[in-house]
Amino acid sequence: MSEQPQSKDLGERIVAIEGEMKHLATKDFVRELIVEQTKELNAAIQESHRVLNEKIDEQTKSLRDDVKGVKNWQNRITGGGAALAILVSLAVAIGNLFVIVTKLN
């Protein structure tokens, strides 16, 4: 009869060891799953950053082109304003000349 308690104790120990092995196997599986999912998530994040940076670069280039266009128009307007001022000055000078010629005659 002394063998029965020992075998019962041994059986309980075997069951406990099997349970611990299953627990460790589950922990390893979960750990591997977490590592795999983390790698996939990091790859997805890097890809989204790459795409986002491309979009930002495209928008930045577009804005720079728009700014260049505005500056070109600004230069044209400023240049046009200067040309207009020259024409007005020329018209005034011609008008003054006409007055002088008229007074001389």
Q: Is residue 94 part of a domain?
A: no
Residue 89 lies inside a defined structural domain of this protein = no
Q: Is 88 within the bounds of a domain?
A: no
Print the domain residue range for 24. Answer: 1-74
Place of tokens 């040309």: 83
Longest Cα pair distance anywhere in the chain, in angstroms? 153
The count of domains in the chain is 1
- Write down how long the chain is: 105
Structure confidence by residue, pLDDT tens digits, 18-28:
888 888 888 88
Cα(41)–Cα(54) distance, integer angstroms: 20
- Could you count the other beta carbons within 10 Å of the beta carbon of residue 51? 10
For 74, counting Cβ atoms within 10 Å of its Cβ (0-12 exposed, 13-18 middle, 19+ buried), the class is exposed
The answer to whether residue 16 sits within a structural domain is yes
Q: Is residue 91 part of a domain?
A: no
In the chain, which ranges are continuous DSSP H helix?
A: 3-104
State residue 82's pLDDT score.
77
pLDDT in tens, 42-100: 999 999 999 999 999 999 998 888 888 888 877 777 777 777 888 888 899 888 888 88
**Residue 21: inside a domain:** yes
